[in-house]
A and B are shown apart, each in its own frame.
Chain A
Amino acid sequence: MEYVSTIMPALLKGLVTTLQLFALTLCLSLPLGLVVSLGAMSRLWPVKAVSNVYIWLLRGTPLMLQLFFVYYALPAFGITLDRFPAAVTTFVLNYSAYFAEIYRAGIQSIDGGQYEAAKVLGFSRGKTMRYIIIPQTIRRIIPPVTNEVITLVKDTALATAIAVPELIKAAKDAANRDVNTTGYVIAAALYLVLTFLLTLVSRTLEKKYSISDREGGGRIIKDKKGRSLLLGGLFGGSL
């Protein structure tokens, strides 16, 4: 127990870095994913091609390889990033590609009749997306998005490969120094607490929004508000 208290400050410091990495990645990749998914569905073929290649590359290569590339290989192209910014950049790029695919699937699952109804009511393409399609999509994609968010918490551990001082790095340092694996056990417990909290948040969100398609609910989100509610909920549960 005495040993635990000696390594706890270092572990908690690592945890803070993990949470920062997690929160920054979410804040940036959720909106970037939307841009990429709209690009992938664009009618302009160059935009569509670039977006699809982006998704293909980032989903088709290991996240750890991408970390190495951004941290070790980009300096050769004149872009040098510190460990933490390099990790954030990599995670944002990687997760935006996954979110883009989730958004795309969600948007494409909306019935064509919605577009037709919007069109005869005078909605332009942009306004149709904003007022009709995206608010409906948000509710449908809550389960896959929260799933991805929980995966992200665990994926942040990969940043240890480029020596970002996050939770795993802190545990590993303690284990190497003291020849004692207790740090790993505590790290595991902390990850479990985090994913448990996120699971609770995602359950609440699903209950609140997803089912309302069928049952009508009573508290359905209104256009833009919905997105901020969703983000607020996720961060509220994890920070």
Chain B
Amino acid sequence: MKVLDMKGIVKKFGAEGFRAVDGVSLCVDSGEIVSIIGASGSGKSTLLRAVCTLERIDAGSIVIDGDTIVKDGVYAKESELLRIGRKSGMVFQHFNLFPHLTVLQNVTISPVKIYGETQDKADKRAMELLDMVGLANKANNYPSQISGGQKQRVAIARALALSPKLMLFDEPTSALDPEISGEVLQAIRRLAKSGMTMLLVTHEMGFAREISNRVVYMDEGRIVEQGGPDALFGAPKSERLQAFLQAVIQV
């Protein structure tokens, strides 16, 4: 069962029509964990952002859990997009928590104000999620009072509050110091064990290898190579991936 089905995605930028994503097709099955790796500017983040409609694609089709977001470059109606939107949860590199709301309010605002849940029910669910990411004791703190790693875990709980079918992570640890990225990776690991379908863009090669069922290598807006993590990292076929892994390891 496919949770995410992308076909022939093209995203152009600027007057020149630079193709940030150039004809990418990618499926993610239920329960599968797929990591996208590649150099900066390879189009991996753009591809991820297209899934949650932060980027509008120029051509191609995206279907999430059987619902069509865009077919051959034509988007569904806004009301449809709103309904389908909650099927994917997004975690950003820079967390993007709402600084004027408490941790708990950050998690409940969308379910309550947008999707009409009662505050009681949303609070209860939020506390479960905060407990899962180990932050139940920070529920009444403001984002400015917690660390970067804690913020990112709150962001994960916030995304989960809409019960998504698919979780998207856009370099979730890139803005964190190495010694605290571990706690975020741990939260993602726990989520993986619970069977959540995930699509990650990451620079953490070790983590990608450990957690993924499949790793996709992108360069210049295209998928160059993909496969199981051990095959991809252990025996890369293409020269470009070999060079990329060489460069990453040296760093």
Contact = CB atoms under 8 A, between A and B. Distances in A.
Contacts of A113: 92, 94-96
Determine the interface band of chain A, counting residues with CB < 8 A from chain B: 20 to 34
A171 to B, nearest CB: 45
B198 interface: no
A131 B144 contact: no
A121 B92 contact: no
Contact of A136 (B99, B109, B113): B99
A116 B92 contact: yes
B113 A131 contact: yes
Nearest to B142: A216
A121 B164 CA distance: 11
B94 A121 contact: no
Given A127-B113, A212-B142, A217-B142, A120 B54 contact: yes
Contacts of B64: none
Interface in B134-176: 141-145, 158-159, 162
A216 B145 contact: yes
Given A122-B82, A220-B100, A116 B114 contact: no
A135 B144 contact: no
A221 B99 CA distance: 12
Interface in A119-174: 119-124, 127, 131-132, 135-136, 139
Given A122-B85, A122-B86, A127-B114, A213 B98 contact: no
Contacts of B86: 122
A123 B144 CA distance: 23
A212 to B, nearest CB: 7
A113 B143 CA distance: 14
Given A116-B92, A214-B144, A220-B142, A132 B98 contact: yes
A120 B85 contact: yes
A215 interface: yes
* Most A Cβ at <10 Å: residue of B54, B97, B100: B100
Interface in B85-125: 85-86, 88-90, 92, 94-101, 109-110, 113-115
A117 interface: yes
A228 to B, nearest CB: 16
B114 A123 contact: yes
Contacts of B158: 121
A237 to B, nearest CB: 24
B52 interface: yes
A114 interface: yes
B5 to A, nearest CB: 19
Contacts of A135: 100
A136 to B, nearest CB: 5
A116 B141 CA distance: 23
Interface in B186-241: none
B109 A121 contact: yes
Contacts of B159: 120
Interface in A54-82: none
Contacts of A111: 96
Contacts of B96: 111, 113-114, 116-117
B162 A121 contact: yes
18 contacts: A113-B92, A114-B96, A114-B98, A117-B92, A121-B114, A121-B158, A121-B162, A122-B85, A122-B110, A123-B113, A124-B78, A136-B98, A136-B99, A139-B100, A214-B144, A215-B144, A217-B142, A220-B100
Given A127-B114, A216-B144, 12 more contacts: A111-B96, A114-B96, A116-B92, A117-B92, A120-B85, A121-B110, A121-B114, A122-B162, A127-B113, A136-B98, A215-B144, A220-B142
Interface of B: 52-54, 78, 82, 85-86, 88-90, 92, 94-101, 109-110, 113-115, 141-145, 158-159, 162
